[in-house]
A = this chain, B = another copy of it.
Amino acid sequence: MIKVAQLGAGRMGAVHARNAAANQRLDLVALVDPRPDVAGPLAAELGAALRGFDEVLADPEIRGIIVASSTDAHLDNTLSALRAGKAVFCEKPLDLRLATLLAAKGELEAAEDRLFVAFNRRFDPHYRALKARIDGGDIGALESLHIVNHDPATPPPAFIPTSGGLFKDFTIHDFDLAPWLMGEAPVEVFAWASCLIDPQIGALGDVDTAKVLLTTATGRLCMISNSRRTGYGYDQRIEAFGSNGAARVDNVTNTAVSVWGESGAKADRFPYAFIDRYAGAYAAEMDHFADVLDGKASPEAGLLASIASLELAEAAARSVATGAPVRL
């Protein structure tokens, strides 16, 4: 088994640590987190030691580092780990500032075969199956894409100022998904956004509802819909239209149970939290990290995907600000 250590024992940290511990190729030996009250129980549950970051970096037996610290520490932690010769699993985003990322580009590129940035959508079995259908020609040549990415409930207002805003925090998933599914980079972005849900979000300078259009060099069109609140769970759907048919990923339900009553047929709920909807994706991305450590795969996404999606997010924000499409 390959020894790995993890930075961060917060909400996403717990997900990644449990997946690392359950992965039969990985041995999670250490957790690094300044908060022993948070990290201690998790470490105990998983049989990992609480250790310092420097100590972990200096341990030659530890070959991989999972970076699940706070977002603003991701890039520094990643660079430190790469410099120590480790492979890195970095929870998305690598960084929210495009300029900062570009400044580190040279160093990151040099280590690109050890840097995996975990964009979870790409590892969802439903989306992977959709991509396989598209790439396999099941719908002919892809012409357009519709993505619905709606959150169940607005985040707490305190989260907004450090989030990077809707496009960098939330649409970023779609900005990564769309080129991946289309097999082609967008060349122009148009976005409209409103604050329709929570005035507090608007007061903080952010939006909660957006419609984004992307187009590619060959004329493919992509529509993205975002909302911060559905009231009915995590609405996660994709439709792909091609020259010979269409394919879609519909929402999954918690179970296959439906109940028929006076008012009609009622299916079970959709998963509410992203942690539930993408549980399979989180496990699969940890397994991909094992593949990278095993030399069986190059990182599915890394620096370039981070830059490309951030560029789209910044372009979308500019489009909202100027009211005009933005060419990349």
Pairwise interchain contact B262-A245, C-beta atoms closer than 8 A: yes
Type the 1/0 row for A225-254, where 1 means its CB is closer than 8 Å to any CB of B: 101011111010001011111111111111
Interface residues on A, range: 35 or more
Pairwise interchain contact B225-A245, C-beta atoms closer than 8 A: no
Q: Pick from A22, A233, A255, A270 the residue with the most CB of B within 10 Å.
A: A255
Could you tell me the distance between the alpha carbons of A253 and B197 in the complex, rounded to whole angstroms?
32
Q: Pick from A46, A129, A258 the residue with the most CB of B within 10 Å.
A: A258
CB distance from A48 to the nearest CB of B (A): 12
CB distance from A137 to the nearest CB of B (A): 11
CB distance from A8 to the nearest CB of B (A): 20
Minimal Cβ-Cβ distance residue in B for A247: B259
| Also in contact, A260 and B247, with CB within 8 A (given A21-B24, A129-B268, A324-B325) | yes
A71 located at the interface, meaning its Cβ lies under 8 Å from any Cβ of chain B in the complex: no
Given contacts A143-B209, A230-B241, A247-B260, 10 further A-B pairs with CB under 8 A are A21-B24, A192-B213, A196-B220, A232-B246, A247-B258, A249-B256, A260-B270, A264-B266, A264-B269, A265-B266
